[in-house]
Amino acid sequence: MAIPLLAWIGLSASGAISESFLPSPQAVWSAGLEMARSGDLLRDLSATAQRVLLGFGLAVLVSVPLGIVMGSFRAGAALFEPVIGLLRYLPASAFIPLLIIWLGLGEPSKVALLFVGTVFFNTLMTADVVRIVPRSLLDVSYTLGASRGEVLRKVVVPHSLPGIIDAIRVNAAAAFNFVVVAELVNSTEGLGYRIVRAQRFLQTDRIFAVLIVIGLAGVTLDVALRLLRSRVGRWAA
């Protein structure tokens, strides 16, 4: 963390590189401050956050139950695994034109990109987590009188929860990638949009400031999920 920062300060102070290529930290700071004051930054951040919450949230809502079914029942795996295994290799960005044709240029196509980009991986990762629940634990639960549904609810889910949160954490990073990609195409707000706009006016200082905001937002989400994971998975430590 400190080393690239120092390199940056040193490099820009030396004047070897033009301001419009590599802005100085002070320039980035004041560009960021300016955007924050005008209210742009907050608006962009909340637009981006909403897209992540909606698109990735939907992906989680679909993929976690689907993954649990796939991991628990052989029939579920036989039904979904081949399709999802194939779909996940299709690069989500390649879906952008298609999604725009289907859903138009507005919000739905952006949310859909996030969804498509994360739902398949999260399903397969959830299924893998569910599959490692030891057979003996399931067997002993049946002998204690649990039905299939009760085993799913009281054994499979709690055993898999920490692993599912891990999967969500990994795929949240992907969601951040996709949201910026989605916003590069035809939007009127959002951190990705802000970057495209700044590029048009060669405002590298603004681009840098936005990148830093994206990084901080990602780290915040990651830390939140880590905290959740260590709370939920205390028993596994």
Partner 1 sequence: MTRVLELRNLTKDFEGRGRTVRALDGINLRLSRGEFVCVVGASGSGKSTLLSMIAGLMTATGGEITLDGEPVTGPGPDRGLVPQAGTLYPWRTVERNVAFGLELLPLDTAERAQRVDWYLAETGLSDLRKSLPRQLSGGQQQRVAIARALACEPDVLLLDEPLGALDVQTKEDMQVFIRQVWQDTGATVLMVTHDVEEAVFLGERVVVLASEPGRVIAEVPVELPDDRELGIKRVSAFLALRARIEDLIRAERRTAVDDATEQSA
Q: How far is the CB of 148 from partner 1 (least distance, A)?
A: 11
CB of 67 closer than 8 Å to CB of 119: no
Tokens 């036989």 belong to residue:
78
CA dihedral 25, 30, 33, 34 (to 10 degrees): -140
**Which residue number, 10 or 134, has a Cβ lying nearer to partner 1?**
134
CB of 108 closer than 8 Å to CB of 146: no
Q: How far is the CB of 130 from partner 1 (least distance, A)?
A: 15
Closest CA to 73 of 151, 159, 146, 137: 151
**Which residue number, 35 or 155, has a Cβ lying nearer to partner 1?**
155
Question: Which DSSP symbol is given to 152?
Answer: I
Q: How far is the CB of 65 from partner 1 (least distance, A)?
A: 20
Q: Enumerate residues 218-237 that contact partner 1 by CB under 8 A.
A: 234-236
Q: How far is the CB of 235 from partner 1 (least distance, A)?
A: 4
**Which residue number, 10 or 158, has a Cβ lying nearer to partner 1?**
158
Q: How far is the CB of 82 from partner 1 (least distance, A)?
A: 26
Q: How far is the CB of 180 from partner 1 (least distance, A)?
A: 37
Q: How far is the CB of 157 from partner 1 (least distance, A)?
A: 10
Q: Enumerate residues 182-201 that contact partner 1 by CB under 8 A.
A: none
Query: What count of Cα atoms within 13 Å lies in the side-chain half-sphere of residue 105?
Result: 5
How far apart are alpha carbons 20 and 189 in whole angstroms?
24
**Which residue number, 119 or 165, has a Cβ lying nearer to partner 1?**
165
Site string for partner 1, 126-165 (x = CB under 8 A): --------x-xx-xxxxxxxx---x---xx--xx------
Give 221's contacts (C-beta < 8 A, 6+ positions apart): 52, 172, 176
**Which residue number, 48 or 141, has a Cβ lying nearer to partner 1?**
141
For 221, the token pair is 């989400």
How far apart are alpha carbons 172 and 223 in whole angstroms?
12
Site string for partner 1, 30-69 (x = CB under 8 A): ----------------------------------------
Longest dimension (CA), the chain: 74
How far apart are alpha carbons 176 and 201 in whole angstroms?
25
Count of residues that interact with partner 1, criterion CB under 8 A:
19
Positions in the binding site for partner 1 (CB under 8 A): 134, 136-137, 139-146, 150, 154-155, 158-159, 234-236
